[in-house]
């Protein structure tokens, strides 16, 4: 005996007098999350936290957590490893140890911090951190928006540098008698 199946528009199967509900697989929803930022904190060399009004945005769960980073209080931040990885895609973002190689100068830690904050802001403004990903089973566009102070074209020439170490072995001065 064969049974005839008919599917109605509402996804209900009728099989010879019996009605069976079938579950249709929903198409992936498209969702967009906008992460609004207005400040970059750096409480330690090579560590940067992106915040909105001093707090990590509520969508923090999509930013990379660093459970094992005991050296820094915020769970969601860029650490030296992140800066190295980001540098592969965004050459203007790099850890302090690469400053001389990337800029040609020995920047002070404060000057490096200012430069990195500006470069991260520029990357956000240019849409560099925006991406699409599957987030909780949904095709999601992540968009970063910067509402803080815009960069002021910080020139590398204006940053403070660490003075070159001079050779301590001086030639003796000639004395006149």
| Mean local confidence (pLDDT), 114-128 | 93
Residue 25, pLDDT score: 42
Q: What are phi and psi of 6, to 5 degrees?
A: -125, 135
More confident: 152 or 148: 148
pTM to 2 decimal places: 0.67
- Residue pLDDT, tens place only, 58-97: 654 555 566 556 565 555 678 888 899 999 999 999 999 9
CB-based contact 32:39 (threshold 8 Å): no
Domain extents in the chain: 30-158
More confident: 6 or 147: 147
Mean of per-residue pLDDT scores for the chain = 75
Closest CA to 50 of 141, 117, 137, 112: 117
Q: Which residue has 């209080």 as its token pair?
A: 73
Residue 169, pLDDT score: 56
């Amino acid at each position: 005996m064969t049974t005839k199946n008919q599917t109605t528009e509402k996804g209900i199967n009728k099989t010879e007098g019996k009605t069976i509900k079938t579950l249709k697989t929903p198409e992936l929803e498209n969702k967009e999350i906008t992460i609004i930022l207005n400040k970059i904190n750096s409480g330690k060399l090579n560590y940067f936290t992106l915040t909105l009004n001093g707090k990590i945005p509520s969508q923090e769960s999509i930013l990379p957590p660093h459970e094992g980073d005991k050296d820094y209080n915020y769970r969601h931040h860029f650490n030296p490893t992140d800066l190295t990885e980001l540098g592969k895609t965004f050459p203007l973002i790099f850890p302090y140890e690469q400053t001389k190689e990337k800029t040609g100068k020995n920047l002070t830690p404060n000057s490096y911090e200012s430069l990195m904050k500006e470069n991260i802001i520029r990357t956000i403004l240019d849409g560099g951190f925006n991406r699409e990903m599957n987030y909780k089973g949904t095709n999601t566009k992540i968009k970063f928006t910067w509402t803080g102070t815009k960069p002021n074209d910080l020139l590398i020439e204006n940053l403070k540098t660490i003075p070159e170490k001079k050779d301590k072995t001086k030639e003796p001065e000639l004395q006149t008698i």
